[in-house]
Chain A
Amino acid sequence: DSGVTQTPKHLITATGQRVTLRCSPRSGDLSVYWYQQSLDQGLQFLIQYYNGEERAKGNILERFSAQQFPDLHSELNLSSLELGDSALYFCASSANPSGRSYNEQFFGPGTRLTVL
């Protein structure tokens, strides 16, 4: 158990719908990262938040957005869903986003999204 929790574990929805994935970081971690794992794209970084503010953006679609709340939990919102959005979405957390020394990222169990 990494200490990072994600809900729900599984989500099945239809094309065109909108869903929200939730992540609670490890106690004390200020930084949250979202990654997408799909068969064709592999594991890709989507976005990072640090203490409520967006810090870095990766290959995140405009239909996707995220936020980090004052209690440090984060939500990833996926809208106008397409079949190709079916994937495993991981959240990770770390103590701080310092670029000078790496802070280990601890991964949650993931949310498996299936778009039908």
Chain B
Amino acid sequence: AQSVSQHNHHVILSEAASLELGCNYSYGGTVNLFWYVQYPGQHLQLLLKYFSGDPLVKGIKGFEAEFIKSKFSFNLRKPSVQWSDTAEYFCAVNNNAGNMLTFGGGTRLMVKP
């Protein structure tokens, strides 16, 4: 069975700081990888996704993620965070055998103005 680990449960940053959120997954086969964001009181929104090709993926709102197959990782990065990035971030995986998503435990990011 596949699983996803997000090691940072809570992150507090000041505006303009750089962000990196860790995500590791366990699954032996081919996977598709995602980062979702959940702003307070809102639904989950897709930030970016990786299927194949260039392991550096660019998403919305200046976010990017790098797939490192040898490390089973898909870390999310943003060079300079804004107060409006305050949200909970979820890493997710699905394999090519099915369309269900397996989510990590989430990371709550607070950006101080």
Contact = CB atoms under 8 A, between A and B. Distances in A.
A104 B46 contact: yes
Interface residues of B, number: 23
B108 to A, nearest CB: 12
Contacts of B32: 102
Interface in A57-108: 58, 90, 92, 94, 97-105, 107-108
A69 B99 CA distance: 20
Interface string B77-107: 0000000000000100011111111111110
B43 interface: yes
A102 B106 contact: no
A103 B99 contact: yes
Contacts, number: 60
B103 A31 contact: no
B100 A56 contact: yes
Contacts of B94: 102
A76 B36 CA distance: 23
B44 interface: yes
A110 interface: yes
Interface of B: 32, 36, 42-46, 49, 51, 90, 94-106
A90 B44 contact: yes
A87 to B, nearest CB: 14
A34 to B, nearest CB: 10
A14 interface: no
B2 to A, nearest CB: 11
B106 to A, nearest CB: 7
A2 interface: yes
A93 to B, nearest CB: 11
Given A102-B49, A102-B94, A104-B49, A45 B100 contact: yes
